[in-house]
Amino acid sequence: MGKEKADQQDLDLTLKLYEMRRETLTRQSRDALNFKFWPKSYADVKEVSSNFQHEMNAPWRQMSSYWEMVYGFARHGLCNADFLVENNGEGLFLFAKIYPYLEEFRRDNSPTAFQSVEWIAKNSEVGQKRFAMVQARVKAIQEKMAAK
């Protein structure tokens, strides 16, 4: 799976990634997708991801590419995957929201879309556990929203 043990380089990378997440525009994008983006269908995902006039398109582009980059570090063996996802699990939250529509998204946009996020969710032991927890949380939230 790449790098077996976390070291000082992993710590430094994690701290840099944390600083990037605190940047004002990034924080606004994270908030938009975490709290306002609740797709009920592939059409919802397509609208946000492909309509440049949509209010969440810029946050989508910023955060989907950010998390793909972050998890790509582990996929390519540049850092320890378990350590990375322990400290940067938020990308799995967005991935859980679009996962039911991933096949269609890849068909219509790019066959490699979300490949690093999917890799960390399937190939890291911590990523597998976290993704399962996040999927359950997303499902519960969506069911609660539908019941209202």
In total, how many domains does the chain have? 1
How far separated are the first and last CA of the chain, in Å rounded? Answer: 43
pLDDT, tens digit, 9 for 90 and up, residues 34-65 = 999 999 999 999 999 999 999 999 999 999 99
Alpha-carbon gap, residue 39 to 86, rounded angstroms: 26
Task: Let me know if residue 13 belongs to a domain.
Answer: yes
Looking at residue 81, what is its pLDDT? 96
- Of the candidates 140, 58, 57, the one whose C-alpha atom is nearest the C-alpha of residue 93 is 140
Task: Let me know if residue 117 belongs to a domain.
Answer: yes
Using CA atoms, how far residue 115 sits from 67, 105, 111, 123, in Å, is 11, 12, 9, 12
Task: Let me know if residue 73 belongs to a domain.
Answer: yes
Q: How many helices and strands, by DSSP H and E, does the chain display? A: 9, 0
Alpha-carbon gap, residue 11 to 24, rounded angstroms: 23
Task: Let me know if residue 104 belongs to a domain.
Answer: yes
124 neighbors 89 (Cβ within 8 angstroms) = no
* pTM for the full predicted model: 0.93
Range of the domain at 91: 8-147
Task: Let me know if residue 2 belongs to a domain.
Answer: no
Task: Let me know if residue 91 belongs to a domain.
Answer: yes
Task: Let me know if residue 3 belongs to a domain.
Answer: no
Residues of the chain whose pLDDT is less than 70?
1
Task: Let me know if residue 47 belongs to a domain.
Answer: yes
